[in-house]
Amino acid sequence: MLEVRQIDVRYGKRTSVSQLSLHVKAGEIVTLVGGNGAGKTTTLKAVSGLLPLAHGEIWFCGERMDALAPHQILAKGLAHVPEGRMLFKDMSVKAHLELGSLRTPAHAASFNDTLAWVFELFPVLKERSQQLAGTLSGGQQQMLAIARGLMSQPRLLMLDEPSLGLAPIVVHTLVDIIRTLHAKGLSILLVEQRVDLALQLAQRAYVMESGQVTLSGAAADLARDPKVKQAYLGLSL
């Protein structure tokens, strides 16, 4: 479904992602993990067209994406829920969801059907549809950021650090939602600082260090890998 082939991404002269390749198959949850500054966010931004490639190619559902603008990539069915949520604090929940539906793939369901589906997934957003985003709790804001992404009816959802700053109980809700979305057939590329959670949720994983993939494989195998345990799971050898 998604194929990232040997991409380099630079900020000015500095290369932040180098020769990175990864893929996501239809119906998979794939996670990209690594320490701070490893290049995970940069990779997601390159996939969604927010950063240009210095080298390499990105393909999605058989089409080359890396020359397209972000709104065109979204309309192909590839949505990005950014780190930090990027909501407009003075805009209502409903207005965010309308914004999320502006670019939908061809043959998409109607706005009302998608809204009903999203409200079923996030009942709290239905209750608060007229409330301003800035007045929501952190967990509700994260739900809104995901819901806005879903309003574009993506085939692949990229989630950047969805659990960041959330209370443990809200993280549980988030995990349930990711599992529900996956069960409904959505493919997911997950960047997550809670490596333990990410490896539980995903079928496959890539570990990034200094802009490169240094390990990849089945998530269950990586969760048992001594190097991963030591570096990311807080366990000593």
Q: Exactly one of 2, 20, 39, 122 binds ligand ATP (CB under 6 A); which one? A: 39
> Which CB atom, from 36 or from 112, has the smaller least distance to ligand ATP?
36
100 near ligand ATP, rule: CB under 6 A: no
Q: Exactly one of 2, 20, 34, 222 binds ligand ATP (CB under 6 A); which one? A: 34
Burial (CB count <10 Å: 0-12, 13-18, 19+), residue 153: buried
41 near ligand ATP, rule: CB under 6 A: yes
40 near ligand ATP, rule: CB under 6 A: yes
Cα separation, 218 vs 204, in Å, equals: 4
Of 14-33, which residues contact ligand ATP (CB under 6 A)? 16
> Which CB atom, from 16 or from 140, has the smaller least distance to ligand ATP?
16
48 near ligand ATP, rule: CB under 6 A: no
Beta pairing partners, 22: 4
88 near ligand ATP, rule: CB under 6 A: no
Which tokens belong to 145? 């950021």
Contact 36, 54 (CB under 8 A): no
Q: Exactly one of 6, 25, 27, 37 binds ligand ATP (CB under 6 A); which one? A: 37
CB of 11 to ligand ATP, least distance (A): 3
Integer angstrom CA distances of residue 180 from 29, 33, 70, 136? 12, 22, 26, 23
Question: Count of residues binding ligand ATP (CB under 6 A)?
Answer: 10
Q: Exactly one of 31, 42, 140, 142 binds ligand ATP (CB under 6 A); which one? A: 42
Residues that bind ligand ATP (CB under 6 A): 11, 16, 34, 36-42
